[in-house]
C-alpha cells in the first residue's frame, strides 16, 4: 500500500500467546507510527482499558490486523481497507494464525471477522 511498512514484528506480542486479537488495519496516528498494534492513539488507549477489564496484559497476547499496512485516503486520513487489500494480506494472516496457534482468536470488527 503506497510503500508503507507492514506492522508485523516481535512488537505484535508473544509467539506462544493463548489469545490473539485481529483488528482491521494499523491506524495512521497509532500503529503506523509506533509499529506496535493498537498503540499511540485513542484506539490503543481503549484497547489497553479493554484488556485490563478482562484481566489480560499485552505481554500475554498477540495482536495483528486483517490489513497489515495503514490504508489512507488521498488526503492522508485513515480509511477502511478494500477487499483486495485484505486479500493481499490474507496469506500473512493465515500463516500468523498457524504459527501462533492461539486457543482463542478475537476479531475486532467486521473487516477482521471477514478476513
Q: What is the mean pLDDT of residues 17-28?
A: 88
Residue range 42-67, pLDDT digits in tens: 888 999 999 999 999 999 999 999 98
Average pLDDT across the chain, whole number: 87
pLDDT of residue 101: 98
The answer on pLDDT for 1 being more than 70 is no
The answer on pLDDT for 90 being more than 60 is yes
The answer on pLDDT for 82 being more than 80 is yes
- The pTM score is 0.85
Domain chopping of the chain, boundaries: 10-114
Q: What is the DSSP letter of 27?
A: -
Report d(CA 9, CA 80) in Å as an integer. 22
Is the CATH number 3.40.470.10 carried by domain 10-114? yes
pLDDT of residue 57: 95
Amino acid at each position: 500500500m503506497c510503500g508503507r511498512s507492514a506492522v508485523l514484528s516481535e512488537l505484535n506480542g508473544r509467539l506462544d500467546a493463548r489469545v490473539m486479537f485481529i483488528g482491521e488495519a494499523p491506524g495512521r496516528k497509532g500503529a503506523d507510527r509506533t509499529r506496535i498494534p493498537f498503540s499511540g492513539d485513542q484506539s490503543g488507549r481503549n484497547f489497553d482499558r479493554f484488556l485490563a477489564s478482562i484481566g489480560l496484559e499485552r505481554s500475554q497476547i498477540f495482536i495483528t490486523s486483517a490489513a497489515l499496512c495503514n490504508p489512507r485516503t488521498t488526503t492522508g486520513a485513515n480509511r477502511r481497507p478494500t477487499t483486495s487489500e485484505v486479500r493481499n494480506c490474507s496469506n500473512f494472516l493465515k500463516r500468523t494464525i498457524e504459527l501462533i496457534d492461539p486457543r482463542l482468536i478475537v476479531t475486532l470488527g467486521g473487516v477482521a471477522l471477514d478476513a
